[in-house]
């Protein structure tokens, strides 16, 4: 079993626990923004896509990488935009009007 | 600087991004700090993307820059969609995320072959299968939510057998590839079979189960990214994928609990079909209906009102009229709260976002358990476009298909008013005894128009 696998597994398990503890505490009020924000964070796969598309090893890999860059970067941009839009709407009665 | 030294600096940027990811979710826990969470996420993303662009392995920027621009050009409009379209946008973004994870896995295979190890093949195989099925599954979900595809569950005999056979086929192909990773002919077949399974997985699931399905697809998209992190040995992907995956997983568990159903029941149960016969046998019973004037008088005389919104409110685009109603009642000194069932709408938190968009203060949006303890002291419960989540049969009738599902106990309020288009049963096809109770008034009509008429009556001010 490769050593990399084991260190990745450690990270995965620890991150999973951290995620579980943090997400449990997110108010149900914010479940929709939670989903769109984690989507935007998940779009970090764009970094892998950029490397595949920019390394230009084979034409096939470059094309697949290019599709992946477009798909994940649109998620990243769109995810942050919509999450921020939603959160700006959540106001308390006091903030709203006197 | 040597490439190794650059690589080290890049690793520091990724570590910083990872920390910011965790902070982003931590800050999202309450509305007061949530926007700071988005900022942390944005900085993390900028750091990680910026660092990657400095990677010495990149030999050409042409396609990278072009596709980043395309991505941004697609992403911004998708971020600007109307709040009612958020569920389908979310499903589409799961599809995009899974697509890119699958594409990268496929590219890794073809670049690596014939030097892909068996272990590496196992990782790639699993990653590509999950990515592919999530891609097509999410597209089907988005199609159903956008109503391009029928929202009813599409079922046929032997469906579960067919679906599971297709999944087994994909897994067997992956195993064959692990035995011989150089067998390039099998790889595309595995991808296609996994794509087909995604379609089969979501097609039988009805619209009312979408909150669970979206959460589950969210979880799959996250785990496929985490697996990709294993394939590429990238810790930042492992962490982001684990966070996204566990988020989706927790949300699916919450959604399942809120419907008193198990995962397997949602995925393989095809809810709506089964009860079609049961609903037909109920005899004709009388209901009391009321006009907007009568409804306005009752509301004006109340001191505590709970409004229960459902998917029907979103369909009728009635949330802004509901806000007007909220304003006019609040001005009369009436205490108005909103009772939000966890599965109301088409995705987790859907109703909260719609009502927040309509400028209703979020402290007025109350969770199920909390609002249920207020119900006996509530003068009027006004139900707008919700059905099954208010059905008292879930508490009282052990033979009901939704028996045991936690509901909003609107039947405990002194008066119940239900705005509904007609007497047709809800999505699950189950009759709702609430409508035949003596304290219940049915307000037949379009939610938006009806609420608008009530508001006009109240403002007209003869009360």
Q: State residue B78's pLDDT score.
A: 94
Residue written as token pair 């996204």: B244
Measured between alpha carbons, how far is A25 from A46 in angstroms, rounded to an integer? 28
Selected residues 381-410 of chain B with any CB under 8 Å from a CB in chain A:
none
B141 touches B212 (CB < 8 A): no
Token pair of B4, please? 């190794």
φ/ψ region of B359 (left if φ > 0, alpha if ψ in -120 to 50, else beta) reads left
Set of chain A residues whose Cβ sits within 8 Å of the Cβ of B364: 93
B103 touches A65 (CB < 8 A): yes
Q: Beta strand B335-340 with B440-444: parallel, antiparallel or unpaired?
A: unpaired
Q: Each residue of A38-66: pLDDT tens digit? A: 999 999 999 999 999 999 889 999 999 99
Residues 6+ apart with CB under 8 A from B392: B407, B409, B411, B433, B434
Set of chain A residues whose Cβ sits within 8 Å of the Cβ of B363: 92-93
Q: State residue A60's pLDDT score.
A: 94
* Structure letter (DSSP) for residue B65: H
How far off is chain B from A45, nearest CA to CA, in Å?
6
Nearest residue in B to A50, CA atom: B64
Measured between alpha carbons, how far is B91 from B93 in angstroms, rounded to an integer? 5
Are B55 and A72 inside 8 Å of each other by CB?
A: no
Selected residues 197-256 of chain B with any CB under 8 Å from a CB in chain A:
214-215, 218, 221-222, 225-226, 228-230, 232-248, 250-251, 254
Q: State residue B431's pLDDT score.
A: 80
* Structure letter (DSSP) for residue B402: T
**Shortest CB distance from B242 goes to which of A19, A35, A55?**
A19
Q: State residue B429's pLDDT score.
A: 64
How far off is chain A from B91, nearest CA to CA, in Å?
10
A23 touches A31 (CB < 8 A): no
Are B242 and A57 inside 8 Å of each other by CB?
A: no
pLDDT in tens, chain B (463 residues): 788 888 888 999 999 999 999 999 999 998 999 999 999 999 999 999 999 999 888 998 999 999 999 999 999 999 999 988 999 999 999 999 999 999 999 999 999 988 899 999 999 999 999 999 999 999 999 999 998 988 777 778 888 889 899 999 999 999 999 999 999 999 999 999 999 999 999 988 887 788 889 999 999 999 999 999 999 999 999 999 999 999 999 999 999 888 887 777 766 654 434 443 444 445 567 888 899 999 999 999 999 999 999 988 988 889 999 999 999 999 999 999 999 999 888 899 999 999 999 999 999 999 999 999 999 999 999 999 888 889 998 998 888 888 889 999 999 999 999 998 877 765 556 788 899 998 999 999 999 999 999 999 999 855 4
- Is A6 within 8 Å of chain B by CB? no
Set of chain B residues whose Cβ sits within 8 Å of the Cβ of A90: 31, 34, 352, 356, 362
B323 touches B360 (CB < 8 A): yes
Nearest residue in A to B69, CA atom: A70
Set of chain A residues whose Cβ sits within 8 Å of the Cβ of B311: none
How far off is chain A from B311, nearest CA to CA, in Å?
15
**B151-185: buried (b, 16+ CB within 10 Å) or exposed (e) per residue?**
bebbbeeebbeebeebbebbbebbebbbeebeeee
Q: State residue B25's pLDDT score.
A: 95
B244 catalytic? Reply is: no
Q: Is B93 helix (H, G, I), strand (E, B) or coil?
A: helix
Q: Taking CA A26 as the corner, what is the angle to CA A21 and CA A27, rounded to the nearest 5 degrees? A: 145
Measured between alpha carbons, how far is B112 from B118 in angstroms, rounded to an integer? 12
Q: State residue B269's pLDDT score.
A: 57
Of B209, B244, B388, B431, the active-site residue reads B388
What value of ipTM does the predicted structure carry? 0.94
Residues 6+ apart with CB under 8 A from A2: B117, B119
Decide if domain B285-460 falls under CATH 3.30.360.10.
Answer: no
Nearest residue in B to A51, CA atom: B58
- The DSSP result for A4-71, as a single string, is HHHHHHHHHHHHHHHHHHHHHTS-GGGHHHHHHHHHHHHGGGHHHHHHHHHH--SHHHHHHHHHHHHH
Residues 6+ apart with CB under 8 A from B171: B129
**Shortest CB distance from B93 goes to which of A31, A75, A84?**
A75
For residue B142, give the nearest of B82, B236, B207 by alpha carbon: B207
How far off is chain B from A98, nearest CA to CA, in Å?
13
Helix, strand, coil in percent for chain B, rounding step 5: 65, 5, 30
Backbone angles phi, psi at A82, to 5 degrees: -75, -35
Share of chain A above pLDDT 70, in %: 95
- The DSSP result for B151-218, as a single string, is SS----TTHHHHHHHHHHHHHHHHHHHHH-TT-TTHHHHHHHHHHHHHHHHHTT--GGGHHHHHHHHH
């Amino acid at each position: 079993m490769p050593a990399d696998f084991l260190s990745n597994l450690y990270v995965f398990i620890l991150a999973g626990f951290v995620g579980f503890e943090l997400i449990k505490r997110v108010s149900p009020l914010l479940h929709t923004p939670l989903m769109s924000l984690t989507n935007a964070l998940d779009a970090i796969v764009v970094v892998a896509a950029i490397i595949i598309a920019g390394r230009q090893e084979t034409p096939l890999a470059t094309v697949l990488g290019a599709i992946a860059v477009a798909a994940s970067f649109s998620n990243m941009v769109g995810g942050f935009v919509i999450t921020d839009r939603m959160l700006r709407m959540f106001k308390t009665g006091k903030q709203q009007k006197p | 600087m040597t490439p190794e030294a650059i690589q080290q600096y890049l690793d520091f940027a990724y570590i910083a991004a990872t920390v910011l990811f965790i902070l982003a979710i931590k800050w999202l826990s309450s509305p007061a700090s949530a926007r700071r969470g988005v900022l942390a996420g944005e900085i993390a993303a900028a750091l990680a993307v910026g660092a990657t662009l400095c990677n010495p392995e990149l030999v050409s920027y042409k396609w990278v820059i072009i596709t980043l621009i395309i991505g941004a050009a697609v992403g911004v409009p998708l971020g600007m969609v109307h709040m009612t379209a958020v569920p389908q946008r979310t499903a589409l973004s799961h599809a995009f995320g899974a697509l890119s994870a699958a594409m990268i896995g496929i590219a890794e295979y073809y670049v690596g072959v014939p030097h892909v190890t068996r272990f590496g093949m196992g990782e790639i195989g699993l990653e590509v299968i999950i990515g592919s099925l999530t891609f097509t599954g999410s597209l089907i979900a988005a199609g159903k939510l956008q109503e391009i595809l029928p929202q009813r569950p599409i079922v046929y005999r032997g469906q579960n057998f067919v679906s599971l056979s297709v999944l087994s086929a994909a897994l067997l192909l992956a195993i064959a590839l692990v035995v011989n990773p150089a067998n390039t002919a099998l790889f595309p077949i595995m991808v296609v079979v996994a794509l087909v399974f995604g379609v089969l997985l979501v097609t039988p699931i009805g619209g009312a189960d979408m909150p669970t399905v979206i959460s589950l697809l969210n979880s799959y998209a996250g785990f496929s990214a985490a697996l990709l992190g294993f394939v590429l040995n990238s810790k930042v992907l492992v962490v982001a994928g684990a966070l996204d995956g566990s988020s989706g997983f927790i949300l699916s568990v919450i959604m399942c609990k809120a419907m008193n159903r198990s995962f397997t029941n949602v995925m393989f149960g095809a809810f709506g079909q089964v009860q079609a016969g049961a609903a037909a046998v109920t005899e004709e019973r009388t209901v009391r209906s009321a006009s907007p004037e009568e409804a306005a008088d009752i509301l004006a005389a109340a001191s505590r009102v709970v409004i229960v919104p459902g998917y029907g409110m979103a369909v009728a685009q009635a949330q802004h009229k509901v806000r007007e109603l909220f304003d006019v009642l609040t001005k009369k000194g009436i205490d108005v709260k909103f009772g939000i069932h966890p599965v109301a709408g088409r995705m987790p938190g859907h109703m909260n976002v719609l009502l927040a968009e309509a400028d209703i203060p979020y402290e007025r949006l109350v969770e199920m358990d909390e609002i249920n303890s207020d119900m006996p002291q509530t003068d009027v419960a006004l139900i707008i476009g919700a059905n099954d989540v208010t059905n008292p049969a879930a508490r009282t009738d052990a033979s009901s298909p939704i028996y045991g599902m936690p509901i909003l106990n609107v039947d405990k309020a002194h008066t119940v008013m239900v705005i509904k288009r007609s007497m047709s049963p809800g999505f699950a096809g189950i009759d709702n005894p609430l409508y035949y109770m003596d304290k219940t008034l049915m307000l037949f009509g379009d939610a938006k128009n009806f609420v608008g008429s009530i508001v006009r009556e109240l403002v007209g001010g003869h009360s």
